[in-house]
Amino acid sequence: MRVCFLLFVGFFSIFANAASPNGCGKGQHWVKPHARRAYYRGDGTYVRASNVVGHCQSNPPGYDVWNAKLMNGRPRYWHPKEEISSWTDEERERVLEALGELPAVLKDEGIDGIFRLKNALIPDNPASNSFSSVVLYDVAFSKQFNLTQVLGHELTHRLRKSLSDAEFASFQKAAKWKVDPKTGLLRSHRPENQFLRRNGMLSPEEDFCDDVSMYFLQPNKLKQIAPKVFDWIDNHVKLWRVK
């Protein structure tokens, strides 16, 4: 009986290997040899630079869905002055790993594609989104940015759209955004050291996208920097659903 079982397992592995290209097993994909720059994962783990040899890699969570969404070309309804780039093997691996780090609630499968363009019209902008498309620019893969946090921020813009006005008003209150009576514009009354980066001071939405992304990737950091904002997200996150 034991012999039969082992024979069956052996037969199944041979069959699985024969069925997938490059001999990688089920739940794995082939990574071509490439030079990889050093980078930080979303949780702050350092990954050193390396000449990656060709190998079978276990698929990160959601690999099949998101691999099919890494698109070439320019999204529909996009600024024609932004130049198209193409994905490298290094970048594809990095993006799919980063998506694997992000929670399901941020991964709206209604996104039609993640596109790769060279430079944003706004200098040093690492990413952007419009309608159902997300764009990553060259700088998103540089030392200047943490790619997982960049993607987390961009995908949180999608999540924001699913929140009611009342819920977002509740966030604004917790994060101390108030209308300035002189200008009529919203202004935060949190000190600058309670923001993860200056970008968050631009608007409640930018603040929200930085904070929610950090809540999932480095919760202790958010708790330390902006404890009231952390508490608000912690109380609301259970109610959020992927659209």
Q: Return the range that interacts with Zn ion (CB under 5 A); candidates 69-77, 103-111, 161-169, 199-207.
A: 199-207
Site string for Zn ion, 152-191 (x = CB under 5 A): ----------------------------------------
In terms of CB distance, is 91 or 206 closer to Zn ion?
206
In terms of CB distance, is 63 or 188 closer to Zn ion?
188
Burial 76-109 (b: 16+ CB within 10 A, else e): eebeeebeebebeebbbbbbbbbbbbbbebbbbe
Q: Residue 136 in contact with residue 95, Cβ under 8 Å?
A: yes
Q: Return the range that interacts with Zn ion (CB under 5 A); candidates 17-25, 26-34, 209-217, 219-227.
A: 209-217
**One-letter amino acid identity for 35?**
A
The distance from CA 44 to its chain's CA centroid, rounded to whole angstroms, is 14
Alpha-carbon distance of 153 to 216, in angstroms, equals 11
How far, in Å, are 130, 170, 207, 208, 239 from residue 236 at the CA level? 25, 10, 16, 13, 6
Q: Return the range that interacts with Zn ion (CB under 5 A); candidates 17-25, 173-181, 185-193, 201-209.
A: 201-209
Alpha-carbon distance of 40 to 48, in angstroms, equals 9
Q: Quote the tokens at residue 145.
A: 């940015």
Give the total of residues touching Zn ion (CB under 5 A). 2
* Interaction residues for Zn ion, span 42-101 (CB under 5 A): none
Residue 40 C-beta: closest distance to Zn ion, Å: 20
Q: Return the range that interacts with Zn ion (CB under 5 A); candidates 55-63, 87-95, 208-216, 224-232.
A: 208-216
In terms of CB distance, is 29 or 158 closer to Zn ion?
158
User: Given the rule CB under 5 A, which residues bind Zn ion?
Assistant: 206, 209
